[in-house]
Amino acid sequence: MRAAYFTTPLAEDPVNAIEVGDLDLPEVPDGWSRVDIYAGALNMHDLWMLQGVATVPGGAAHVIGSDGAGICEGQEVLVYPVLPTQGRSLAHSVLLSDRGYGLLAEQAVVPAGGVVPKPAHLTWEEAAAIPTAWLTAYRMLFTKARIRAGQTVLVQGAGGGVSTAVIALAKAAGASVIVTSRSAAKRERALEVGADVALPTGERVPELADIVIESVGPATFDHSVMSTRAGGTIVVCGASTGFTTPLNLARLFAREITVQGSTMGTREEFAALVDFIERHRIRPTIDSTVGLDDIRVLAKRMLGGDAFGKLCAVVR
């Protein structure tokens, strides 16, 4: 089968760690199913693996990719990107690719029940754009922050897969959306895909937010706290500018602001997300699509920070 994979991480040159070639079909463990993958998408987590940051199991070739859509037992499906685990970690915090079951290949194996029907209005590429980023966004908005119609959501850093997913999901839920970005071009695109207000990073918001979606970290966190209304919630799913930041505790307790971490999502949340997308006829924002042989183009674009939306690959 044709697949995108790596054998040796390259911390300084992750793009060139990617190989595309023919591998043996994966064996199907008991209680698992085989999926013919039609399209996949790239995530920053893939680049972390290519850099050697994320731990991966040993082996000659490690297929990358945690987003995929295809056909399983005659049904068009989206793959739930998580491998449920037990132990000290959250049961939904380990991706399939973390354990050697990457999806950027013509065939993949997934736990039985680890797929949901593909919404008919989505193309293969649009379907493949959903699992990782959109599940993260859904859990942040609906499970952690309990979004309600009429609320205001602030998204720090417009352009990534999670950010564009938050814009679409929050608008469909009846909220207004403010986004920030250092890039004027990305602010303009955010308005085009549904944001109500787009501001330069750090600029004062026109109204305090009920919910702040934070994936940037130190560069924006103080602004996030300043921009949250009394009783509001900041939900953190990443920290692209670092993992430690000063915190104004006085503002936090005086406004009774809740700060919550959020990682991926459960199988039930994934099914609810896909149902929500189908009911509201939502289409994900895709930055670019290439064939599997050109997957390095997507990795380079992601590293450059130029993308707006998901980076997808047609597998067949």
Confidence of residue 229 (pLDDT cuts 50, 70, 90): very high
pLDDT, tens only, 44-101: 999 999 998 876 766 689 999 999 999 999 999 999 999 988 766 677 888 999 989 9
Q: What is the pLDDT of residue 134?
A: 98
**Residue range 228-236: average pLDDT?**
98
pLDDT, tens only, 172-203: 999 999 999 999 999 999 999 999 999 999 99
pTM for the full predicted model: 0.95
Higher pLDDT, 112 or 214: 214
Domain boundaries, the chain: 2-130+284-314, 134-261
**Residue range 238-249: average pLDDT?**
90
Q: What is the pLDDT of residue 57?
A: 66
**6 pLDDT higher than 90:** yes
pLDDT, tens only, 139-160: 999 999 999 999 999 999 998 9
**18 pLDDT higher than 70:** yes
Q: What is the pLDDT of residue 85?
A: 81
Fold match flag (2-130+284-314 vs 134-261): yes
Contact criterion met (CB below 8 Å) for 267 and 274: no
Mean pLDDT score of the chain, rounded to an integer? 95
**Residue range 222-245: average pLDDT?**
94
CATH tag, 2-130+284-314: 3.90.180.10
**Residue range 116-124: average pLDDT?**
98
Q: What is the DSSP string of the chain?
A: -EEEEESS--SS-GGGG-EEEE-PPPP--TTEEEEEEEEEEE-HHHHHHHHT-S----SS-EE--SEEEEEETTEEEEE--B----SSS-TT--BGGGGT---SBSEEEEETT-EEEPPTTS-HHHHHTSHHHHHHHHIIIIIIS---TT-EEEEESSSSHHHHHHHHHHHHTT-EEEEEES-HHHHHHHHHTT-SEEEETTPPPSS-EEEEEE-S-TTTHHHHHHTEEEEEEEEE---TT-S-----HHHHHHTT-EEEE--S--HHHHHHHHHHHHHHT----EEEEEEGGGHHHHHHHHHHT---SEEEEE--
pLDDT, tens only, 286-311: 999 999 999 999 999 999 988 999 99
Q: What is the pLDDT of residue 42?
A: 96
Q: What is the pLDDT of residue 28?
A: 94
pLDDT, tens only, 24-51: 999 999 999 999 999 999 999 999 999 9
Higher pLDDT, 228 or 58: 228
Q: What is the pLDDT of residue 53?
A: 83
Percent of the chain at pLDDT above 90?
88
Q: What is the pLDDT of residue 239?
A: 87
Fold for the domain defined by 134-261:
Quinone Oxidoreductase; Chain A, domain 1 (3.90.180)
